[in-house]
Amino acid sequence: MERRELEYFLAIAESGSFTAAAQALHVAQPSLSHAIGTLENKLGGKVFHRLPHGVALTTAGEALVEPARQVMRDLSTATDSVRRVLGLSAGRLDIVAQTTLAVDPLAELLGAFLRSHPKVAVRVSDPELGSDVTGSVRTGECELGMADSTVDAVGDLENIVLEGREIFAVLPAGAAPAERTRLGVAELAELDWVTTPEGTATREVIDHTVSAQGASPRVAVETAHQAMVVPLVLAGAGATLLPRSLARDAAERGAAVLPLRPRVIRRGVLFWRRGPLSPAAGEFVRLVMSQASRGSADPRRG
């Protein structure tokens, strides 16, 4: 199989049609159809069901997706490895991260990385659920993943546990007396909550912290939009729990922010598939490990 055939196959699989893939790849549709026909002849079977409106993967096509992604990733790594001999002056870094971790600590880590490697192109993907982070890394869709450490099934992946993030209660303005300086964890069961859906980092923090007190959180509003959480809190819909950086931003917008006692600390995990990394990903991992060794993180390899 040729790289071009696999690239075309993945583009069609992801877009759902030959027309959309041809537009995305900037190639003529007949060229795309010819390449897929050649690929199917080599495999001895169809990889797509041709439908009136678009295509669907056949069983053989579904089996090809993950190996094709890995082949494309390996080819990219090989190309980048040559560039590394001349210095990390190009390349691409693909990371999938849960939203709260993308804000803190990923944004700051990427800033430090790009100051040293400004010509590397970075793409950060946002999954709907924590389990989607590990799935994207396992299938080769993204090279690195960052998720809350409570997300299961990272044990077979290489990983680094990141520095802990303190969690704060974020309440509507005026919900706490001005003289109040902290909020007991036991008091959380009395609050109404604004949160994201089950499986997301914010929801896991709320569920875990409140359930530790033997109660279930009363969810007033559940939204799939992380950016909507703080505005809902400010509008008086309920409270939420956020890491320091997000809580600080909420405070600047008028929310009441209180530390929890006892403190609640959450840790994220950076992880990747076993095997060689692209030069850009390898440099990023080394950066994270060096910062972890200087802080209070617990670096470990899975």
Residue range 78-89: mean pLDDT, rounded: 63
Q: Collapsing DSSP states into helix, strand and coil, what is residue 270?
A: strand
Decide if 217 contacts 169 (C-beta within 8 A): no
pTM of the model: 0.67
The model's pLDDT over 123-140, given as tens digits with 9 standing for 90+, comes to: 999 886 656 788 888 888
Q: Which residues contact 129 (CB under 8 A, 6 or more apart)?
A: 197, 199, 200
Residue range 235-263: mean pLDDT, rounded: 95
Task: Note the pLDDT of residue 130.
Answer: 59
Task: Note the pLDDT of residue 295.
Answer: 57
The model's pLDDT over 158-199, given as tens digits with 9 standing for 90+, comes to: 989 888 899 999 999 988 777 788 999 989 999 999 999 988
Q: How far apart are CA 166 and CA 145, in angstroms?
A: 21
Residue range 14-39: mean pLDDT, rounded: 91
pLDDT band at 302 (very low <50, low <70, confident <90, very high): very low
